[in-house]
Amino acid sequence: MINPDPLKAADDLDKWAAGLEQRARSYARLQERMDATTASAASPDGSIRVTVDSNGVPTGITLSERSRALEPTALSAGIMSVMRAAQAVLRQPVQVLVAETVPAEDQPARDIVAQYERRFPDPAPEPGADREVTREMRIGQVEDDTSPPPPRPNRTDATDDDWGDRGFLR
């Protein structure tokens, strides 16, 4: 049924548009905070440390002197294992950022969280592993944080689809 009061209809349309603008600002803020989010993990002995950006792409791999004693296959398996652990750490900051930034009832917000849960499950335990990897995260940048965000890797030889560099909202 058409509203017989054109002023009320115009007011309703203005409110609807304002609500859309607010949601768009919330999602833009979420994207900014996500872009500044990183997660890291380290092997139990500290020989391998991997940091990933909010897309799960490695932005840093650090190998200690202890890694020199590893066979190449063990080293590469260790790097992959620690990278998967760092990626799994991303789920928690994503949940926090989504909850803090956008309305929880929004289906796109729930979809973002579900996407991270599917993409970055907990890694399978390593055979014979007696300790968990060390995990940490950095959730976005707060207003008083003056440290620069981690550098983005140079991807001149990769397409956006290869690395998922478009972010989750683009």
Note down pLDDT in tens along the chain; length 170 residues: 555 787 888 888 888 888 888 888 888 899 899 999 999 999 999 999 999 999 999 999 999 999 999 999 999 999 999 999 999 999 999 899 998 888 777 888 889 999 999 999 988 766 554 445 565 666 665 444 444 444 444 444 444 443 344 444 43
* Distance separating alpha carbons of residues 56 and 123, to the nearest angstrom: 14
**Amino acid 65: pLDDT:** 93
Helix/strand/coil for 15: helix
Q: Global pTM? A: 0.66
- With tokens 């478009």, the residue in question is 166
Q: Which two tokens stand for residue 111?
A: 């979809």
N residues, the chain: 170
Helix pair angle (107-119, 91-101), 10° resolution: 170
Which residue spans within the chain are E strands per DSSP? Answer: 38-42, 48-52, 58-63, 134-138
**Amino acid 57: pLDDT:** 95
**Amino acid 130: pLDDT:** 43
**Amino acid 106: pLDDT:** 85
* Distance separating alpha carbons of residues 86 and 31, to the nearest angstrom: 20
